[in-house]
Structure 1
């Protein structure tokens, strides 16, 4: 009889104690595993039958150890050649630390040295170390009570059952899938005759459920490190194998796995076949929206929906949860289990929760939520898609939904008449829903303004979630075509920050010009919607003019000038990325040639060097910039006089400068600007598009006519 240490993932210790009790092996929970007094027969049984354990560690020696010499001395007391032969490859796993031993690799090295030296002394030769393909694994843990050295009877972790030859993008470990099923009582409640996973991926949850119900030992299809151990008893192991084979029963429950991706469904079928349960399971390609009525009176709906790790995915994920909640009501009398790394998304189910457990997926924090689908959840919907929409528009968010509908009705005809495909639908019209909602053709961008500090973060997050789901429902835009971003109203140069790398570009039209936009990768899309009328005015004034676009960004104002017949265009910006974008915009509209110049430079430096003269200038500097390419920061309020003075030296008499910026409460230094020879006209209201009239402070804009004094 030896005291084994059986490791498992955190929070599974109590479940593992219960599982071992079913194998008639009493155990006590510890940290990261359980302890059990067991025979060799018991150890084999755990290796063969445990669905939750990671490793089964057989004790070799334990004693005080603080220093490297202590570790070496204790490990040297083990007669290693009695445990494995010199032709076996071995590896050492080390955990823990002491004042002197702070690196696990160093601790492992000292034990490895001891093993090799013992072999040399006893056998005159040494075994090879092979970390990846070891025949024998030694595990050591250094803690407050000293050093404990074990023989790992398992080898590859127990969750590697041997059936999962193919996996999806983010597969669950088999042991975690089993823990989820145990928490939901699948192994005890034989009245649950059906299991449905509507987002099954590579099928791990469904396969593990079938293995449990069919009493199939999870270790039957794999090998173990103890088979290379000198104390291995093949006769006892053969008895355990025979007993495990005899214990299997026919799988009478009905198992269904669905997924919208036919590629992962094929992987699920192959995995089920490898696990020996392929004939008992049904895997089909089917999106959640097509999930039908319940196939029987009692069962379990179980799924691990996408987490939405990127903010841009939030709309798709939230709407998926809302749809799942609606579909679940069609399974009255069943139980629902949802395992998620996004617990805040669970509220979109709109279901009364029975229980919730913290059950992390490795380093990722995650929860398992349980729901009894009974009369408390409300009646099952007759028409699920309509119910999803209705559910999304009920409650406090209804006021936002009504406002959005009203704005869409007022703006859609206007936009079509004007010939624009990108415009603002909503801009924090209601203080409770503090966001901007923009349409770009068949896509939507939701930009959440940073909430005030007086609003609790949880409350702000709930409101944003409801706004996103309601936007999907009202607009009818596919959830995966909705980008979600968070920004402060005063973004300064933050519009240039990169968020993702999807490289998903599209073209939208305004007044006959095609503009290339990217809705996911950057905080701004590449098209400032509030300057639409200003760009149109530039195009109307550009014929025969030499046009200059400073801080040109993606060159959209240049497009209008070129379309309007500008003699030449010059666009200046510090960013190579945005100049390349501007070049794509020009090519996409058929503008090419030497008459369209792009210059990468600091604007002030470029102005001080330029020998050219221009007749029309569009000047839209950032509110604030501290780019690495600049020697000093730029503040539009502080530095606009210096900037306009530099611009004045490249102007022809009578030239027009359109000067705009988005700084709230910006004050033009009229006296200084007039002293340079500019006539000033505030055209802020005249350049405010129809879709921004609800927010008259979105930008300031001035028409400056250069009339230098003699």
Structure 2
């Protein structure tokens, strides 16, 4: 008799225990998270290796102790008679699971076991076996937990979820054992075992794993039957005759499944992969795969069955904007076309399933790879399939307001020489977003909701915005970009949101600009400064212009187009300086202009040049690593503008702007600088930003000499 440990994904241990008890009813088993333990004979372990559809590894215990240190682990491993398990001319590897204060990483734990194995052979034979991490002859595993430490022989030699039929997979593949767990939790397996043979349909089948697992189960094909390598094959305790007899018996047990299995996917490429994988698994003739849209596919199965699918999760915001309207349409289709069916969907985004407008009967927590997921079960009964007029109603308070805004703005939009403008800015308190158009794209910026608003309500309202906006704005859902505005701290102020590097060109009053809608919180063009940029252009003729905190240089572009004889663009970000140069190239601006990458505070302090027009639009706050200290516009603007004043040529002009909503200009600024100061905030506010009078503050300051 041996002690065995069978591992699986966390959340599947109860199912694995049920499966082992079904395969070997005479065994007594118990479970812990992600594992099942039992005592049995070698034939029991072979049987699980061959027939378990849920296990990852089958481990045979070689030794255990209550120790916890690295020395304890070495001593434990040193007690094992390794030469009774393999020879010094064979290769081996050691995996290690667990960590504590003394054994603080898995590499250290594996090294301690490996050292004990090598020392054993050196002492006995003055010869050491070689380590092969990729394809060893035999594999061992050390495990550490609160109860102590153990050393095991890995009988499988690798994870059993790898059935060897999946040469290729789709974009978000599901492990084979998790796919079978979904079938068990859906109820399909239980009904099949009871003789109630129900059709199975996977509408977003990807590479076909769920249906292949179902077909192999219905055909009584042992999941380990075609595995090419086993960990026990080079083990001295292996019983090859017993193993071969079990393989032969498994071959005889195969049968025709007699169940309708259908898979569809909108991607023809992955459908082709699914067909190939099913053929490799020996069940290709039992599954019908088609390239089809799940929201329109009409079944031809003659009785209700099960829909089981690993749906797209919408992990990326861009994917979410496309999936929300799709799931809303799919919900209607399911209700109309699949009455009395049962539905089981795996997702990491439970909120997205709310678009189906279905009431769930049960939820199970799973781990797919390293992603926490829920398997959500629904019954498409009469109550769930009822479609009310409210469900079909496409309008909402938000949708009605957005349509109204567009209608009121239509004449103004047509009169403007730009394809970038704001159409909505938290007009309704319950829909706390801003919506901007950039050419054929739309950007939705979600403001952080008040703490008193329940999270599920804010999510539901945002989803409503993401569904309605593409339809009303007349764009495909994939051309909607979602961003979340919240207080940024530390390095998060400067980190990329994404890495898509998708840029588009937009235009404004005779100028063109590159904008990046995906990778940063801001796009590269502040739309509320449209009129301010025009004012700079009007004042720039034959002037020496300085643009401080230049961002992507849009103001510099207008200064150059306005006839400035020199434009100096200063920003501490190398990314923004390069971006500004590209905007100059895009507008075919030639001649000598300066682009300086430096902290504006340090640069202005040391600058000796004079400028006729200076534009200053600093951030509200910054503590970039490129700065000495931090910047707070309320605290620091007086001292900074004093330095700027020293660089202003006689008769020159400063335009000072910022976006801190509660900003107040220092009252002593005029007296201490001798500047004539006039606030022009209202007249620089474009019509599409009139909803929010404090979107920015702006002053024009002129030399009084």
Fold conserved between structures, TM > 0.5: yes
Between 231-240 and 361-370, report the one with greater CA deviation: 231-240
Distance in 1 between residues matched to 2:624 and 2:75, nearest whole Å? 59
Distance 1:245-1:571 versus aligned 2 partners, 3 A rule: same
Distance 1:546-1:139 versus aligned 2 partners, 3 A rule: closer
Residue deviations 1:530-557 (CA, integer Å, cap 9, x gap)? 1111112322333333332221111112
Distance 1:684-1:113 versus aligned 2 partners, 3 A rule: closer
Partner residue, 1:590: 588
Shift of 1:427: 0.8
Shift of 1:582: 0.8
Shift of 1:162: 0.9
Residue 34 (structure 2) pairs with residue 29 (structure 1):
no
Distance in 2 between residues matched to 1:63 and 1:454, nearest whole Å? 52
Residue 292 (structure 2) pairs with residue 276 (structure 1):
no
Partner residue, 2:625: 628
Residue 240 (structure 2) pairs with residue 219 (structure 1):
no
Alignment partner of 1:451: what SS?
coil
Distance 1:208-1:612 versus aligned 2 partners, 3 A rule: same
Contact 2:443/2:480 (<8 A) preserved: yes
Distance in 1 between residues matched to 2:137 and 2:488, nearest whole Å? 61
When normalised by structure 1's length, the TM-score is 0.90
Distance 1:662-1:125 versus aligned 2 partners, 3 A rule: closer
Residue deviations 1:436-479 (CA, integer Å, cap 9, x gap)? 11111221211121222333334333332333233234334323
Aligned partner of 2:54 among 37, 52, 55 = 52
Aligned partner of 2:353 among 346, 349, 355 = 346
Contact 1:571/1:597 (<8 A) preserved: yes
Alignment partner of 1:356: what SS?
strand
Aligned residues: 698
Partner residue, 2:370: 363
Distance in 2 between residues matched to 1:4 and 1:373, nearest whole Å? 42
Shift of 1:53: 0.6
Distance 1:247-1:525 versus aligned 2 partners, 3 A rule: same
Consecutive unaligned residues in structure 2, runs of 5 or more? none
Partner residue, 2:697: 700
Alignment partner of 1:200: what SS?
coil
Aligned partner of 2:191 among 166, 189, 205 = 189
Contact 1:20/1:27 (<8 A) preserved: no
Alignment partner of 2:681: what SS?
coil
Partner residue, 1:2: 2
Distance 1:320-1:129 versus aligned 2 partners, 3 A rule: same
Between 438-447 and 96-105, report the one with greater CA deviation: 96-105
Partner residue, 1:232: 238
Alignment partner of 1:540: what SS?
helix
Between 529-538 and 470-479, report the one with greater CA deviation: 470-479
Contact 1:86/1:127 (<8 A) preserved: yes
Shift of 1:576: 1.4
Contact 1:153/1:224 (<8 A) preserved: yes
Aligned partner of 1:614 among 611, 614, 631 = 611
RMSD: 2.9
| Mapping 1:401-412, distance limit 5 Å | 401-412=399-410
Shift of 1:517: 0.6
Between 194-203 and 437-446, report the one with greater CA deviation: 194-203
Contact 2:182/2:308 (<8 A) preserved: no
Aligned partner of 1:484 among 482, 491, 505 = 482
| Mapping 1:462-541, distance limit 5 Å | 462-488=460-486, 496-541=494-539
Between 613-622 and 337-346, report the one with greater CA deviation: 613-622
Distance 1:331-1:670 versus aligned 2 partners, 3 A rule: same
| Mapping 1:207-356, distance limit 5 Å | 207-222=212-227, 223-293=229-299, 295-329=301-335, 330-356=337-363
Partner residue, 1:384: none
Distance in 2 between residues matched to 1:146 and 1:429, nearest whole Å? 61
Partner residue, 1:201: 206
Consecutive unaligned residues in structure 1, runs of 5 or more? 382-386
Residue deviations 1:289-312 (CA, integer Å, cap 9, x gap)? 453456443232222223333445
Between 415-424 and 194-203, report the one with greater CA deviation: 194-203
Shift of 1:651: 3.1
Distance in 1 between residues matched to 2:63 and 2:660, nearest whole Å? 71
| Mapping 1:98-247, distance limit 5 Å | 101=103, 103-120=105-122, 125-143=127-145, 146-190=148-192, 191=196, 193-222=198-227, 223-247=229-253
Contact 1:193/1:296 (<8 A) preserved: no
Distance in 2 between residues matched to 1:435 and 1:441, nearest whole Å? 19
Distance 1:235-1:409 versus aligned 2 partners, 3 A rule: same
When normalised by structure 2's length, the TM-score is 0.91
Shift of 1:49: 0.8
Distance in 2 between residues matched to 1:513 and 1:564, nearest whole Å? 11
Residue deviations 1:146-190 (CA, integer Å, cap 9, x gap)? 544332211011011111111234321111111111111222224
Distance in 1 between residues matched to 2:605 and 2:80, nearest whole Å? 80
Residue deviations 1:317-368 (CA, integer Å, cap 9, x gap)? 4334334323322322222111111223222221111110111224321110
Contact 1:493/1:622 (<8 A) preserved: no
Contact 1:497/1:523 (<8 A) preserved: no
Alignment partner of 2:355: what SS?
helix
